[in-house]
Amino acid sequence: MLPDVIRVLAPAGLAFAIGVAMTPILTHYLYALKAWKKTGGKTAYDGTHATEFNRLHSVREVNTPRFGGIIIWGSVALTTAILALLPRFFPGLEVFDFLSRSQTWVPLTALLVGAVAGFFDDLLVIRPGGEGIQLRYRLLVVVLLSFFIGWWFYTKLDVTAVRLPFDGLLELGFLIVPFFILTSLALYASGVIDGLDGLSGGVFLAIFASYAVIAFSQNQIDLAAFCAALCGGLLAFLWFNIPPARFYMSDTGSMALTLAIPAIAFMTDELGDGIGVAVLPVIGFLLVVTVASDILQMFWKYWFGKKLFRIAPLHHHFEAIGWTPEKVVMRYWVLAIAFGFLGVILALTGK
């Protein structure tokens, strides 16, 4: 009998290898097609010119391609397909197939829907004068997808509660559906953490690695293998995204990942007889901080007529006050690992 740890690590290694192998091809076409914004700079949420951000980043935006997220979800999709089809040609390899209705259909669907929606948004962004899909339509995609997944959890998988640390249980009934929608919207908003070379890749890597450990500890081997494959894809992306980045993750990557996270968190909760949702704010603490800093910035400007941070979200504020981008990224990686460990410990000891 093959050890479960091999079943989990093999998809990670395969996804990494596929991601590294496909990057030169993708890079060639991204640069050949000039798949970057044609006009640098961006506008703040209140419609004003984002002066500080544009001072720091507008030049890189017009010569660094988007679509880097294809490496992540593309390698995961290919890994899933290969390991699902391989047993048809080589009987006995069924043990590596982690595609299952009970554990991975839902997060894989969320990943791919987010990837496709983000891909079309990136296509519109790289047009001359392109601004991407309007926010309300992107939010509509998130709401519709999360409503379907929340409904699936409630009606098909009988999920009606969220487990709390140390033998607590929050019974929600049908409210599990709107709760899942709100969680998905909050995580989608955190996608703005994709702002510095290597930043989002490292933070997401720590999050998915944490949930791989949680799923593995609960004997959800298929889900753990899926999370591990995502880690492999993220490592391949980071190999080429470490400064200076060869490409940006952009919406096709960040939207895919932020929509997959809530699905995984809920899968590791009541269904895994564990604590997956309650530890999400801990494991994803830097995502929480990112969203909170944006909200605080808008609140401060509305009520006090001035900015709380030099730039929001917070990682750009540190950059604006003089931290080098590499220092910001490395410190965020350290914190992401620390909060990931903390969340895993809380999930495992709080049962």
pLDDT at position 36, please? 87
Per-residue pLDDT at 52: 60
Q: Which of the residues in the chain have pLDDT under 70? A: 1, 40-61
Give 204-271 as a DSSP string. HHHHHHHHHHHHHHTT-HHHHHHHHHHHHHHHHHHHHHSSSPSS--HHHHHHHHHHHHHHHHHHTTGG
**What are φ and ψ of residue 168, in 5° steps?**
-95, 155
Whose tokens are 């081997």? That residue is 221
Q: How confident is the model at residue 63, as a pLDDT?
A: 82
Q: What is the pLDDT of residue 88?
A: 87
pLDDT of residue 168: 84
CA distances from 243 to 126, 325, 344 (A): 22, 9, 29
Measured between alpha carbons, how far is 202 from 129 in angstroms, rounded to an integer?
Answer: 31
* pLDDT (0 to 100) of residue 54: 60
SS3 content of the chain, % helix, strand, coil (to 5): 70, 5, 30
User: What pLDDT, on a 0 to 100 scale, did the predictor assign at position 171?
Assistant: 93
Quote the pTM value.
Answer: 0.94
Q: What is the CA radius of gyration of the chain?
A: 20
Sequence-distant (6+) residues with CB within 8 A of 55 are none
The pLDDT of residue 152 is 95
* Orientation of helix 199-217 relative to helix 325-349, angle to 10°: 10
Closest CA to 105 of 339, 285, 271: 271
For position 122, what pLDDT does the model report? 94
Contacts of residue 344, Cβ cutoff 8 Å, sequence gap at least 6: 210, 213, 214, 279, 283
The pLDDT of residue 129 is 75
Residue type at 32 in one-letter notation:
A
